[in-house]
Structure 1
Amino acid sequence: MTHTTPHSTTRRNVLRGTVATAALAATAAVPAGAAHAAPTGSGTGPAIGILLYDGFSLLDPTGPAEVLSRLPDATVTMIAERRGPVRTDTADVALVAERSLDEVDRLDVLLVPGAGNRGTVAAMNNQALLSWIRRIHRHTRWTTSVCTGSIVLAAAGLLDGRQATTYWASAEYLESTFDVTYLPQRYVRSGKLITAAGVSAGIDMALYLASLMAGDDTAKAIQLAVEYDPQPPFDSGNATEADARLKERALQLLAASQV
């Protein structure tokens, strides 16, 4: 399927921001591997690929990776246009892509993270990246996104006529630019596509995906294994309940932290 979009994708109108959460990531050299090989582990579990691109938000790939890597016999691999370190939206941290796009032909699960303005705009205008996403999607069991990763999926034409979620400040853009119905939920399933809301919602989505792939008992056990029992000190994480002042402050903090 070929998809082109006439929509303007400038930093000003694509979105107002996205969240990045600090964590440790390795930046060691990546060993060479066989070309054109999809990530594999024991050969009996799902091959899960997480796409990295410059300016992604750190928790978007790492939160789901923490959950999905606990699935029995699963293999989780970071993938980018080229092997090597890929920087986050703050540029303070990098994750290592162990495979390039050209080395991955098939995946059971594809996950596309979100990013700040710079990263999202670049990704949704990168035709080689969008073409690879469409090609991999044809054979996945599940194609997923976190935060503004749903905008990248929409730019690839995968969300046409579907319901989806995204980062709260990008919801209006998603609906007005693409043929997508936005739902203000932590995650939304539409066929084999599952989109998650902003950043931390990727963990919720990954647990839901784990239940679909391995059953509720396994998903519950993974949740306990990673001790995911959120009890934040403030009840301010729901955009539908936040006032305009707090939203503006949140977006100011994001803009100040991104490069």
Structure 2
Amino acid sequence: MTPPDLSRRALIAAGVAAAAFGPVRSAAGTEPGPIPQDRPVRIAMILYPGMTALDVVGPQALLAGLAPGSLYCVSEAEGPVASDTGLSLVATHAFAACPPDLDVLFVPGGDGTPAQMRDAALLAFLRDRAARATWVTSVCTGSLILGAAGLLRGYRATSHWCVRDAVLPLLGATPVAERVVFDRNRVTGAGISAGLDLALALAARLRGPDYARTAQLVAEYAPEPPFQAGTPAQADPAIVRAADAILAPLVAGATAAARS
């Protein structure tokens, strides 16, 4: 079998001119099928004040080759949007300018999550685009924003460990302690770094496992963390307490927003 042309340059430029196809529909209770090979994938990635930049940038880097000319960074207004560490990303489209039919709708997490769970304009946009999107996805606390829009009720989902078990049930979702969770056309990733795993798993469904494997190799994604402290179960109790203190405002804000 001839491997796909996915040099670093080709990974960014892969695909042909977009054709007027509607989103791929799935039968009730099943995952969607692959996107037609003769057009780029249409992806909208939400930006909002206080997002975590890595939640967006990691998946964007791995999915960009699927979406030449059709990857939209969307916010309430065009222009720079500050992340929760001060780094700004640029929204290319306002809500109204985002195409109505999408293959992937993606929501990141971040310290700004509680405010976005109450943002009527964002929640209305998500409900509208999700009604036609092939895949509805999130990373980290982005799943809480999907949940606040009513888009995870009755679905299995994950989120950052600090809110997964306590807040997702308030939004009608069943929490799952896994890195990436697929349930029909909903795909949710755990905390921040899980965005890379989600992007590869989703790319495999959109264009096949060989595409995803090649993208992984191009990115040299072969993690060997210097410490085994990536989950509360792995970390020492003192480290867990320190992380809990850092994350406490986010947890409190998200819990209050979910209950409002």
Work out whether the TM-score is over 0.5: yes
Aligned equivalent of 1:217, options 210, 223, 247: 210
User: 1:1-259 counterparts in 2 under 5 A?
Assistant: 42-43=17-18, 44-71=39-66, 73=68, 75-90=70-85, 92-104=86-98, 105-116=100-111, 119-253=112-246
Identity of aligned residues (%): 39
Question: How far off its partner does 1:232 sit?
Answer: 1.1
Instruction: Give unmatched runs, 5+ long, in structure 2.
Output: 1-14, 19-38, 250-260
Letter in 1 for 2:53: L
In the TM superposition, residue 75 of structure 1 has moved relative to its aligned partner by 2.9
Matched residue, 2:35: none
The separation in 1 between residues aligned to 2:103 and 2:169, in whole angstroms, is 31
Q: Count how many residue pairs are aligned between Structure 1 and Structure 2.
A: 214
What is the CA deviation profile of residues 50-91 of structure 1, one whole-angstrom value per residue up to 9, with x for unaligned ones?
00011001100100000000227473221100000000112x
SS at match of 1:111: strand
Opposite residue 212 of structure 2, the aligned amino acid is A
Moved more, 217-226 or 74-83: 74-83
Q: Deviations over 1:117-154 (max 9, x none)?
A: xx111101011110110110111111100000000000
Superposition TM-score, scaled by structure 2 size? 0.78
Q: Measure the CA separation in 2 of the matches of 1:126 and 1:41.
A: 36
Q: Secondary structure at the match of 1:46?
A: coil
Q: Closer, same or farther in 2 for the Cα pair 1:157/1:216, shift >3 Å?
A: same
**TM-score of the superposed pair, with normalisation by structure 1:** 0.78
Measured against aligned partners, the alpha-carbon deviations of 1:152-205 in whole angstroms (never above 9, x if no partner) come to 000010111111000000123324412111111111011101000000001100
| SS of residue paired to 2:156 | strand
Q: State the SS of the aligned residue for 1:169.
A: coil
Distance 1:222 1:72 in 2: 13
SS of equivalent to 1:173: helix
d(CA) in 2 for partners of 1:122, 1:218: 37
Indicate the RMSD between aligned Cα atoms, in angstroms.
1.9
Letter in 2 for 1:142: W
Contact 1:41–1:74 (CA under 8 A) maintained in structure 2: no
Q: Structure 1 residues 72 and 176, CA, compared in 2 at 3 Å: closer, same or farther?
A: closer
Inter-partner Cα distance in structure 2 for 1:206 and 1:74? 18
In structure 2, the CA distance between the partners of 1:140 and 1:230, relative to structure 1 (3 Å rule), is same
1:16-54 per-position Cα deviation (integer Å, ceiling 9, x unaligned): xxxxxxxxxxxxxxxxxxxxxxxx983121111100011
Gapped runs of 5+ residues in structure 1? 1-39
Which letter does structure 1 place at the counterpart of 2:146? Answer: L
Deviates more, 1:120-129 or 1:171-180: 171-180
